[in-house]
Amino acid sequence: MNGRCAPGFEPVREAFERNFADRGEVGAAVAVTVGGELVVDLWAGWADAERTVPWREDTLTNVWSTTKGVVAIAAHQLADRGELDLDAPVARYWPEFAAEGKDAIPVRWLLSHRSGVVGIGLDRPVTVEELYDWEHITGLLAAQAPLFAPGTASGYHALSYGFLVGEVIRRVSGQTAGEYLAEHVAGPLGADFVLGLGDADLPRCSSMIEPVLTSAAAQALATAFANAGPVALAAMANPRVEGHHANADDWRRAELPALNGHGTARAVATIYGALADGSQRLLSDAALATARAGQGREVDVVGGLPNEWALGFYLGSEERGFGPNPLAFGHDGFGGSSGGADPEAGVGFGYVMNQMGPLLRDDPRKLALVAALYSCLG
């Protein structure tokens, strides 16, 4: 166990230790800011499956969909500066997107997973390697018809979110999502969070380890995919991305703004902490209120889970996935990682790991850390 834990936050350290002892953790880090102060910054374990490389202070981890929340901040910054209108049609900024009746879809429906463009239709199979070609995938999405009526439901844009929101960011700012985050989000905060790694950072990456499933769980997962409809399959399985894909250097070099942000727990907590501490370093108070405004509670037509989206974030809502405040918000990543903010408590939170669990959100390890954190805050 390495790092520091401020007096009064020992329960977080104890929960982190129990994740290794009782919940199968291999390598991980957790960080918490309160009122802009870093009060928990811990890391432990191994960065590789063979347990030969120690997890270090600067170990970078693929955080999967935790990336989505960070990318949402970029979109809200552009809106905060008056460069992007969240209620304007996407086609105002990206004219090609108007194809197949998508001319009226507003930007906010990309952020709230209501555009219907959950992915590329099954009539056009896509490989993981094709994801590395930005122009190719954004071209396919621009030409894609919505897979459900836009605005009528939420359907998790598991892969497409990053290309859709990322292309709007590129059209408005002239920068790729990775370039924008480096200059306007992570860079000003000194946060070690990168979208699109350079060769110098590749040796710092932890290796993702596939979930360990019981035979019953593996059978249930196979059955779920076999019974999934075309909307869910387009979102989650075209292509079907698995944990080991994130260990390829080409994956790490690519910009996949829904899937492959790499960072430390400290970086994730620092970014969310800057939303929670009242400093307005990333977003004005008005822009933050817009970003975390609920868009209506629904059962997601892709994942089948009840939840409430804000604009680019999950709301804590009834599930309380980011603590007891239902208005706390953030985003989890495939396998367990998470970042979140609770402005009412002044809390920013980050958790990253390499031993993946089977869930898309609310991994038991994350929930144990969040529960321990709020026990410290009373």
* Tokens 């809200």, residue located: 76
Rounded Cα distance, 161 and 157, in Å: 5
For strand 193-195 and strand 297-299, is the pairing parallel, antiparallel, or unpaired? unpaired
Burial 163-183 (b: 16+ CB within 10 A, else e): bbbbbbbbbbbeebbbbbbbe
For residue 276, give the nearest of 99, 56, 96, 32 by alpha carbon.
32
Q: What is the dihedral of CA 13, 192, 73, 255, to 10 degrees?
A: -120
In contact, 51 and 31? CB cutoff 8 Å: no
Which conformational region is residue 229 in: left (phi greater than 0), alpha (psi within -120 to 50 degrees), or beta?
beta
Q: How many helices (H) and strands (E) does the chain have?
A: 14, 12
For residue 64, give the nearest of 365, 368, 359 by alpha carbon.
359
Out of 65, 160, 206, 317, pick the active-site residue: 65
In contact, 167 and 177? CB cutoff 8 Å: no
In contact, 111 and 75? CB cutoff 8 Å: yes
> Annotated catalytic, 65?
yes
Please enumerate in sequence order all residues whose Cβ is within 8 A of that of 31, keeping only pairs 6 or more positions apart, or say none.
Answer: 38, 40, 41, 42, 264, 265, 266, 268, 269, 270, 349, 350, 351
The burial class, CB within 10 Å (0-12 / 13-18 / 19+), for 29 is: buried
Please enumerate in sequence order all residues whose Cβ is within 8 A of that of 203, keeping only pairs 6 or more positions apart, or say none.
Answer: none
Which conformational region is residue 335 in: left (phi greater than 0), alpha (psi within -120 to 50 degrees), or beta?
left
For residue 255, give the nearest of 364, 178, 174, 317 by alpha carbon.
178
Q: Which residues pair with 332 in a beta bridge?
A: 338
Positions annotated as catalytic residues are: 65
